[in-house]
Amino acid sequence: MEKIERLLEEQIKLARYRTLIPIQNQRNGFLYIDNKKYVDFSSNDYLGLSQHPAIKKAAITAIKKFKNSTCSSRLLSGNLKLFCALEEKIANFKKKEAGLVFNSGYQANVGIISSLCSRDDVIFSDKLNHASIIDGIILSGAKFFRFRHNDLTHLEDLLKKERHKFKNSLIIVETIFSMDGDKAPLKQLVRLKEKYNSILMVDEAHATGIFGKNGTGVVEEEDLSSKIEIIMGTFSKALGCFGAYVACSKKIREYFINFCRSFIYSTALPPAIINSCLVSIELIKKEPHRRKILLENAFYLRKKLKDIGFNVIGCSQIVPVIVGEEKETINLSIKLKEKGFWVPAIRPPTVLKGSCRLRFSLNYYHKKDILDKLVDALAH
């Protein structure tokens, strides 16, 4: 097709051509590529749990006891008791009535949103919401409005103007935004969703395991679990495993089991994964020092970068440094690579034009000496 060649050439011209880099290994916060070692600031393995011995052991134990794959969807013969145990744990962890496991965060968002909403409904979505949320919205066929990032006035204007024209209304935000590393104003969002008779859905992909007294997320930190109908998150980031979940009421869980196509029409996750997810939730409870050190270090790096004049945003383990134009951002990223730091340059369409950035994803293994070296490298 002519279109394929044309679009690929366009990507090259825009310096947006994506390629896959073969990674030899990932360990202790480092990456190994072409026999070179880099500090890995691109991973979401925030707590380093993906290499935790207890998690690896759980996977090995399950693979010995069960099969390698369930080879069946949950509704056929894939629903091992392990899933029930994990879903009970999720419900407890998130202080909701029920939990449901999904095969990935992408599948969860696409399925949850498209099964909840349809043409007569309206969705209000933060402008910085993840691609999986946007795809779920598009698939749902609902009318949707994007409000400026964390802008409650803009959201309320839209609610005032549009809400009454539709049957059901859904508001969706991430609790920690993946590209800005900042928090959603959950308390005010709850007030608005109550005032305008809407359902609130939050994506805790980057918050689970890190925020809140028990590490369950920002919803816990703000004590709002009873006020938020749909709390989703992933096992693939701070929890160091794979898959995703939603915590909700029993009724909504039953609804998803009956109507959510990404849940129904996909093979159940492998037992090794489910068993490791079970252990990872325990580790979040048992090893709070990991999230404590992570957030301390993020605070430390943020301050040092600000001190040398960088435009740093956010308030989490994700530390974005706004650079501006694409070329300059890419050049910085390349220079850091030469000095042994693997830092992704984030560009459009992932972020808005002119707000290209270096996005430092901190990891439990990035101790202060490593961060000092990074700041030195950036200062030059």
Q: Which two tokens stand for residue 160?
A: 């005032």
Q: Does 280 bind ligand PLP (CB under 6 A)?
A: no
From 130, 183, 193, 304, active-site residue: 130
| Pairing label, strands 36-40, 341-342 | parallel
**Binding flags for ligand PLP, 243-262, as an x/- string (CB under 6 A):** -x------------------
Active site (annotated) includes residue 251: no
CA quadruple 117, 123, 127, 129: dihedral, nearest 10: -30
Active site (annotated) includes residue 276: no
From 156, 174, 180, 182, active-site residue: 174
Active site (annotated) includes residue 376: no
Measured from each CB, the residue nearest to ligand PLP is: 105
Minimum CB distance to ligand PLP, residue 205 (Å)? 3
Residue 113 or 343 having the CB closest to ligand PLP: 113
Q: Which two tokens stand for residue 198?
A: 């809407």
Active site (annotated) includes residue 156: no
Residue 178 or 333 having the CB closest to ligand PLP: 178
Minimum CB distance to ligand PLP, residue 108 (Å)? 7
Q: Which two tokens stand for residue 163?
A: 């809400």
Q: Does 178 bind ligand PLP (CB under 6 A)?
A: yes
**Residues 124 and 149: beta-carbon distance below 8 Å:** no
Packed helices 105-116 and 250-259: angle between N→C axes, nearest 10 degrees: 100
Q: Which residues contact 254 (CB under 8 A, 6 or more apart)?
A: none
Q: Does 269 bind ligand PLP (CB under 6 A)?
A: no
From 52, 183, 193, 206, active-site residue: 206
Out of 236, 276, 297, 329, which residue is the one contacting ligand PLP (CB under 6 A)?
Answer: 236
Identify the CA nearest to 171 among candidates 183, 154, 159, 187.
Answer: 159
Residue 156 host element (H or E): helix 152-162
From 180, 203, 220, 229, active-site residue: 203
Q: Restricting to residues 98-127, name those near ligand PLP by CB under 6 A.
A: 104-106, 109
Q: Which residues contact 228 (CB under 8 A, 6 or more apart)?
A: 186, 190, 200, 201, 202, 219
Helix (H, G, I), strand (E, B) or coil at 3: helix
Cα–Cα distances (Å) from 262 to 77, 83, 91, 102, in that order, read 17, 17, 21, 8
Q: Does 40 bind ligand PLP (CB under 6 A)?
A: no
Q: Does 169 bind ligand PLP (CB under 6 A)?
A: no
Site size toward ligand PLP, by CB under 6 A: 14
Taking the C-alpha atoms of residue 16 and residue 19, their distance in angstroms, rounded to an integer, is 10
From 183, 237, 304, 366, active-site residue: 237
Identify the CA nearest to 200 among candidates 175, 230, 226.
Answer: 230
Minimum CB distance to ligand PLP, residue 291 (Å)? 17
Out of 234, 280, 297, 316, which residue is the one contacting ligand PLP (CB under 6 A)?
Answer: 234
Stretch that binds ligand PLP, among 63-71, 203-211, 280-288, 331-339 (CB under 6 A): 203-211
Q: Does 132 bind ligand PLP (CB under 6 A)?
A: yes
Q: What is the DSSP letter of 47?
A: T
Q: Does 29 bind ligand PLP (CB under 6 A)?
A: no
Minimum CB distance to ligand PLP, residue 116 (Å)? 16
Cα–Cα distances (Å) from 165 to 143, 161, 168, 323, in that order, read 10, 8, 9, 41
Helix (H, G, I), strand (E, B) or coil at 141: coil
Residue ranges that bind ligand PLP, judged by CB under 6 A = 104-106, 109, 130, 132, 174, 178, 203, 205-206, 234, 236, 244
Q: Which residues are designated catalytic?
A: 44, 130, 174, 178, 203, 206, 237
